[in-house]
A and B are shown apart, each in its own frame.
Chain A
Amino acid sequence: MSEGLHLTVATKLEELGPSTTVAFEIKIDSYFDVVRGIIDEFASKKGLACVYVTSSVPASTLTSALQSLEVNTSQLSFVDCISHTLMAAGQRSASTVLVESPTMLENIILKVEYFARINEGKRLLVVLDSVNSFALHNDIKMLTEFMTILTNSLKAKEAYTVLLALPEQMRPEVKEAMAMVSDVIIPLS
């Protein structure tokens, strides 16, 4: 785990400001440090409503892991696109909504919109975890269109949008799509 990476992440987000789409290129061993930086060091401290779209790890697993790291999850909502696909018992709660599959991209946009509505008046931070995982499940053209619509609609809401990506496992066309929708790509090591 890199020392102080969570602080670097928060600083970068602070510098970039709202209405920005930032792609963080991360290494798998720094994953939780980066997530901690986004949620704890940045979103919580700024009082943002954080919507975490997960397509790789079920929301319940992520919540447990974050809580064990003493990350404040009280302002965190999940769009869980993987529990159904894994046939895991996804837990429905006020802060977690399930989407049947990471291929139901329109429904993911609508669930993010849902959290935007119920958090009306609060500024949003939306995390898409991860571009790699979405690319595994979707055709690249669909994925590009999805990311374009999602990031543009979030920009209009003056939200912060964060895309997480593992560059070492990324196909060139996916990287290209990510670059197209991002205002800035920040490699974090």
Chain B
Amino acid sequence: MAKKGERGRCVTGVEGLDNILGGGIPTSSIVLVAGACGTGKTSLGLEFLVRGVMAGEPGLLITTVEGPDKLLSNVPRFILSGSDLDEAAIKKLVAALAKQIAAHRIKRLVIDTIDTVLTEIKDDALDALLLGELSEVLFKNECTALLVSSSEKCERIEGRVADGIVMMGNLERKGDLLRTMQVVKMKGTSHSRSKYVVDLTDAGVLVTPLLKGGL
């Protein structure tokens, strides 16, 4: 249970990640899950939602790349594409999202990918507006969000605004390619910043420390 003045935790259900974070993501955080293709970002997002539902926390998946039938059935979907998003469109979008979150008591939100949304916005100030408004909606509704991004660097606005950053990557070691995960930042909790190896299995995303061989 959270102490007075301390934010509660959203237990992701990904056991290794919860251990790294000392119990889960601080509730209402925006966490950027970034990394190259095939590193397990979507799997992590989906497990976050599925484990939430299993724990009685409704989730919302906004998919901007793949159709929901390919990912999961029966998840609400927004289609974000087409014209440029201006300030009015952003406010309308966040209001619609806020309505869904409140109506369905959504506690976990995944946007896969946020890149598609942000490329529609041509201005950094508008990116910040979108993320700022989203942050307020999440805070009001005690909803925790994962924003999936294919960016391998977190220098863009979403990296700066996010409360947390989880970097997913590939590590080549003597010809072997390992999938890795590293929590670079997470406001509101102390956490490990080490690199971990992950495996995507039908029993969930599994995590173990990267071996260093005494180096």
Contacts and interface: CB of A to CB of B under 8 A. Distances in A.
B204 interface: yes
B197 A107 contact: yes
A107 B212 CA distance: 14
Nearest to B215: A141
Contact of A113 (B173, B206, B214): B206
Nearest to B205: A110
Given A110-B197, A114-B199, A114-B201, A145 B214 contact: yes
Interface string B196-215: 01110101101111111111
Q: Give chain B's interface secondary structure class.
A: strand
B178 interface: yes
A117 interface: yes
B174 interface: yes
B122 to A, nearest CB: 42
Q: Which of the four size classes fits the interface of chain B?
A: 20 to 34
Q: Which of the four size classes fits the interface of chain A?
A: 20 to 34
A107 B198 CA distance: 8
A139 interface: yes
Given A100-B176, A103-B176, A118 B203 contact: yes
Contacts of A142: 211, 213-214
A105 B211 CA distance: 8
Given A103-B176, A142-B213, A114 B208 contact: no
A93 B173 CA distance: 27
A36 interface: no
A145 B212 contact: yes
Interface in B53-82: none
A107 B211 contact: no
B176 A141 contact: no
A109 B208 contact: yes
A113 B197 CA distance: 13
Contacts of A117: 203-204, 206
Interface of B: 173-174, 176, 178, 197-199, 201, 203-204, 206-215
Interface of A: 100-101, 103-107, 109-111, 113-114, 117-118, 139, 141-142, 144-146, 149
Given A113-B208, A114-B203, 4 more contacts: A107-B178, A111-B199, A118-B203, A145-B212
